[in-house]
Structure 1
């Protein structure tokens, strides 16, 4: 018995159509897959060597802020002094002084010279040494000094009559040139004898000056003058 198939139930006829549809879908999926993978591919030239990574530290730049100085208040302005000009009235009595020239008066002009006073400085007195390395001396020594005193000394007559005698001590200054100045009696015996001792000392010749460090200096000297009755 031959089995008859219904055309609706015949699947053999649709088999070919289904295969074609399946191929088309597979090709479409493959095409999309290839296109998708090509876009995601990237060409890398990485050699596998990783270099050191330097991290650059960013230092913030800070701007120095200028210190603002406190503003000082301007000094107060000085009050303005208004100048007041006094205008004299025309009726005011004003005395006029006429200065006549020498040509008008015919008199010569006298020019008076006023000398300039110059104050002269007083020379400073040199130091007087009490003790020196080389003492001042009478020419020829102390013996010659006694002889000179006996020769030039006059014994006061009043002192002789009163029997007055003794030793008068006289102090004086020997200058650099050997001259004798400023004699004074430091030990008195009698006014007449003192006066004679001073007179004789002032008459003495120049002495040999005293020396300090090899240079002549002013020095003090004390000389006893003896009065003795015979």
Structure 2
């Protein structure tokens, strides 16, 4: 008896299709498996790398140890030593206290102490003394003497030179004038005339210190003015 197959039930026609479908399914599973393993490995590697980076970047926290100051030294022990002295020692000298009360009728003797004045060196030249030296007749007489005796130098008049000459000199204890010098001059001609007229002055009244005549340094300005 011959077996008759229906052409619809013949599977030989779709054999290749099933084989291709199976290959596609197998390849799909293999692809998914490979993709799954690579993603897992990449995630694991990335996680490990991040952990290593975090471990490298972690900075250890250090704290400075506080140094405790040394304890203060113990206070020194004070040993009290008591010297016991017997009360049998006799004092050779006794302190005598006298009554110093003073009544209205008590007489008090005052002792006069003579103070000798210090000797003044005769060669010392004073700058300032109790009584300064003065021209006989006063300042007005001195100004009249200068105006009457000064001769204006011709050279200075021709050149129109004028000004004030400061002359320093010493008035001795006898009233004589010495050590004449120009401290601040204007012109050699005027300076020489100022020295000449000071030399021609009469004796001054000497200065006094503690009631005694002394040598005194004196400064005199002489003004030369052209009329």
The TM-score, its normalising length taken from structure 1, stands at: 0.46
Q: Which has the larger radius of gyration?
A: 1
The TM-score, its normalising length taken from structure 2, stands at: 0.46
